[in-house]
Amino acid sequence: MANPRLSVVVAAAKLPGAVPQLLEVLATQMASGVVEVIVATAATPLPDIADRVRIVTASRGATIPRLRAAGLAAARGEVAALTEGFCIPAAGWADALIAAHATHTTMAIGGPMDRRDGSAADWALTLQEYGRFLRRAPDAPVHELPGPNVSYKTERLRRVLGALPDEIAEVDVHAILNQRGEELRSVPGALMFDANDQRFGRSLGSLFQHGRLFGAWRVRGKGAPARALRAMLAPLAPAAQLVRIMQGAVPAGRGRQLLVALPCLLALLVAWAIGEATGSLFGEGASRDHWS
């Protein structure tokens, strides 16, 4: 049996999440063998999911970067797309990625993020995490791609990295690609919807941990003065992030959602800033273990 053109790797901390909706969108391509879906999870999949996908079982408490890596290692497609268990692709998403990889030599290709509905807290989380990716810009090189909507030419990624790491964090992987002179590209037709509906308290905790991880990453290998300076600058992060979010959300027609979500969004941005200052001063600690 021929290998699929596209392996869709779903890192799912919990099931079923949005996986049934993802399978519904991709049903035609899966039936024709063009697309395979790999669900990497430590949760127990329902029979309706397990019978339709390849399951990669991870140890209890596995983080999203570890789930991504485990799923990617099992991918058989020419191209491997990474997403998460709370994401639903738009119609045409898989075809857009396949066509883009056939057209461009670019190794890493992704697309915009959006959200269909949800509470103010839900929109706040989407805007904080993916607001800068909401605008559906023309097919073009970009500086960054969203972790839940990125794809790679599989064998070429393996060659560039030397071997697939135990964890796939897009910030780390894309930094390596940039160092190697590799291009990142976004195509507007590869649209992914965020359907995350986690509790707001959990979102605050997650943003603190992500901010701490980012803060530690920014000062990696630097001395105490640079760490202290980054910590002092961290309180400015919410304003800079809000501007970037506005620049993505308003042109994408999400200005009303931004206004409604603003109080919750500001709380998330402050949680991130506190985490970033903590990471700058004290390192990442156990923050990577909370990426789930």
Residues 151 and 234 occupy one common structural domain: no
Last residue within a domain, chosen from 159, 194, 229: 194
Q: Which residues form the domain of 23?
A: 6-111+146-194
Residues 49 and 167 occupy one common structural domain: yes
Tell me the average pLDDT across 83-89: 98
Residues 90 and 204 occupy one common structural domain: no
> Which helix (H) or strand (E) covers residue 38, if one does?
strand 35-41
For 24-75, what is each residue's pLDDT tens digit?
999 999 999 999 999 999 998 888 898 999 999 998 889 999 999 999 999 9
Last residue within a domain, chosen from 135, 166, 194: 194
Percent of the chain with pLDDT over 70: 100
Residues 160 and 270 occupy one common structural domain: no
Asked whether residue 285 carries a pLDDT value surpassing 80, the answer given is: yes
In a domain, 139, yes or no: no
In a domain, 123, yes or no: no
In a domain, 217, yes or no: yes
pLDDT attached to residue 64: 93
Residues 219 and 100 occupy one common structural domain: no
Instruction: Give the pLDDT band of residue 151 (cuts 50, 70, 90).
Output: very high
Residues 61 and 156 occupy one common structural domain: yes
In a domain, 19, yes or no: yes
Residues 71 and 175 occupy one common structural domain: yes
pTM for this model (two decimals): 0.93
Q: Return the higher-pLDDT residue of 288 and 89.
A: 89
Asked whether residue 164 carries a pLDDT value surpassing 80, the answer given is: no
pLDDT attached to residue 291: 84
CATH number for 105: 3.90.550.10
Instruction: Give the pLDDT band of residue 82 (cuts 50, 70, 90).
Output: very high
Residues 67 and 205 occupy one common structural domain: no
Residues 218 and 174 occupy one common structural domain: no
In a domain, 261, yes or no: yes
Residues 158 and 229 occupy one common structural domain: no
Question: Any idea which residue has 């909706």 for tokens?
Answer: 21
In a domain, 137, yes or no: no
Last residue within a domain, chosen from 171, 194, 217: 194
Q: What total of structural domains would you count in the chain?
A: 2
For 238-274, what is each residue's pLDDT tens digit?
999 999 999 999 999 999 999 999 999 999 999 999 9
pLDDT attached to residue 257: 98
pLDDT attached to residue 1: 58
Residues 281 and 180 occupy one common structural domain: no
Kindly write down the DSSP assignment for every residue of the chain, as one continuous string: -PPPSEEEEEEESSSSTTHHHHHHHTHHHHHHTSEEEEEEESS---HHHHTTSEEEE--TT--HHHHHHHHHHT--SSEEEEEETTEEEPTTHHHHHHHHHHH---SEEE--EE-----HHHHHHHHHHHGGG-S---SEEES---TTSEEEEHHHHHHHHSS--S---HHHHHHHHHHTT--EEE-TT--EEE-----HHHHHHHHHHHHHHHHHHHTTT--HHHHHHHHHHGGGHHHHHHHHHHHHHTTTT-HHHHHHHHHHHHHHHHHHHHHHHHHHHH--TTGGGG--
Q: Return the higher-pLDDT residue of 20 and 163.
A: 20
Residues 60 and 100 occupy one common structural domain: yes
In a domain, 124, yes or no: no
In a domain, 242, yes or no: yes
